[in-house]
Structure formats: C-alpha cells, structure tokens
Amino acid sequence: MKLCACAAAVLAAGTATATAQVQPPGQNDFGGFRNVLAVGQGETVSAAEFGATGMDGPPSFRSQLPLYNDLLYAEPKLAPADLDRFFKSAGFGVPPDEVESTVTPRPGVTIIRDRTYRVPHVYGTTRGDTLFGAGYASGEDRLFLMDVLRHTGRARLTELIGPGRGDATVKMDAAQLKVADYSEEELQRMIDVGAESAGAEGQVIKQDLLDYVDGINAYIREARTDPSKLPVEYTALNRMPEDWKPTDTVAVASLIGGIFGRGAAPRGSCRRP
C-alpha cells in the first residue's frame, strides 16, 4: 500500500533460500536503483518518543530532505552523472557496517534497516514470507497514516479522528461519498472478480494481498500490547488500531485513483458485465 511508502527488496521465489538468508548487497537488483522521499522514511513514533523528539520526530523523518531540495534546483541541467547527488541508493541489501537493525517478525522473514535512512530491506524464505515482511514493515513505518487512508477511502475519517475544525473531516467524507461510495461487498467483489479475470496470475496476486495483510496485522497485534510500537496518534485519540482487511487496501487504492484520476472508477466496474 504502502500505501503505504516503504522500500522492500522483494526477492523472487526462485532465489530465496530455505532460511531467508540475507544476500550480499546488489545481488539480483539489476545493477541498482535510486530514489528519494521528500519527507524521509519516517517510522512510527510512540508516545515516549514523541515526548523526546517533539513535532520534529526522529531524524528519519527528514534525512532525505536535503537531497530532495537540491534536486528541485538541478533542472534543466541534470545529467546521469548527477544522480548520486540527488538520489539515494535503493538497491537490494545493506553492507554489514551499515546495518542499523535486524528483526524477524516470524520464522522465514528477515527485515534489515540501514543506518543512514532507516529503509527496510525485506527477505523471505518464500514469496509469501516476503509479502508478509513487506506488510509488517509498512505497519512499522506508516500504521496511523494507513489507518487515516482506509477511513478516508470509505468516507469515514470523522469516525477515526473526529469532525475537526469547522467540520473539515465531515466535509471531506461527504466529498468522498460522491465519487466512491462503495459498500464492503463491492470492495470484496473487486478483489474476487479481479483475481478471477486474471486467471492463474490473478490468484497469485490475490494471495500476495492476503500475505501482505497478514504482515500488517502481525504488527498491529504487537502494537496493541507494546507501547513502544503504538503510534502516538492512537494514544492521543485514546484508540487502538483495528485489524487490517484486504478490502482496506482496495479502499485506499480507490482513494488514490480518485485523487490522480479526478474521480474513482465507475461503480459498475466492480460488478460482472
């Protein structure tokens, strides 16, 4: 989702090993990738961390901003040789001396973060393990934002955070209803019909979604009992995150489609002809 803004090194099933072995940096990444996020990788801030860092948050919230700011002024003279000045490496793997943390949310899954930007690199024994790890890392980095997006996609943001000043969220919910007032059944039908229409590949993608959702929910379960993993926003609202559903991902996709497509897909698109 992602939604979600998490970078994960997703290994092909044929290259994963039985123990989710972490491979050397650069292996299987076709010569490397580069990217930059204006606001940085982020990560969840707990109530205790918020008390220590305040509104600025940890360094990972802004560590990529200098790259992004300089990029704005590089055009129209930007050349291939300049790429490493304005983009960070997004290649697979982390050099051993650059590893900040390593976690194993379940057997067969390893998530490594680099020391400079705190980007998660996800390794799995199987394809399902890797998708699970990507979901878990998404929860680590963006859980409350993901919650906001799934509520907004369903025109229920007011339910999560209240009406806001001048009923701002009420108005936002009303506007969303005009373009994507999908029922839960319609959202589920988008998943089922989409998977069926794509044949064998569709079933693989559907299972990918289910594995990704399992990873998100694994983090949510931990956050409910571990204050260090619970985003401070839930503490402020006196709420706990609810389980993530596959249809939540569809609701977020509908919201994004509405933003970039100037209106969500027609309602009839979720039904059989």
Residue 132 neighbours by CB distance under 10 Å: 26
CATH of domain 34-270: 1.10.439.10
Distance of CA 160 to the CA centre of its chain: 19
User: What average pLDDT does the structure give for the chain?
Assistant: 85
**CA 232 to CA 236: how far, in whole Å?**
6
**CA 249 to CA 11: how far, in whole Å?**
22
- Residue 138 makes CB contacts below 8 A (sequence gap 6+) with 1, 2, 3, 4, 6, 146, 212, 215, 216
Strands in 99-103's sheet, in edge-to-edge order, are 99-103, 109-114, 120-124
Residue 115 neighbours by CB distance under 10 Å: 12
Kindly state the tokens that stand for 171: 């108005």
> Can you give the residue ranges of every domain in the chain?
34-270
Kindly state the tokens that stand for 175: 């506007």
**CA 41 to CA 55: how far, in whole Å?**
16
**CA 262 to CA 265: how far, in whole Å?**
10
The conformation of residue 51, written as its DSSP 8-state character, comes to H
List, for residues 39-92, the tens digit of each pLDDT value: 888 878 899 988 887 777 788 888 898 888 888 888 778 888 888 888 998 888
Contact criterion met (CB below 8 Å) for 133 and 122: yes
Res. 31 pLDDT band, cuts 50 70 90: confident
pTM: 0.84
Residues in a beta bridge with 120: 113
**CA 127 to CA 189: how far, in whole Å?**
25
List, for residues 185-243, the tens digit of each pLDDT value: 999 999 999 999 999 999 999 999 999 999 999 999 999 999 999 999 999 999 999 99
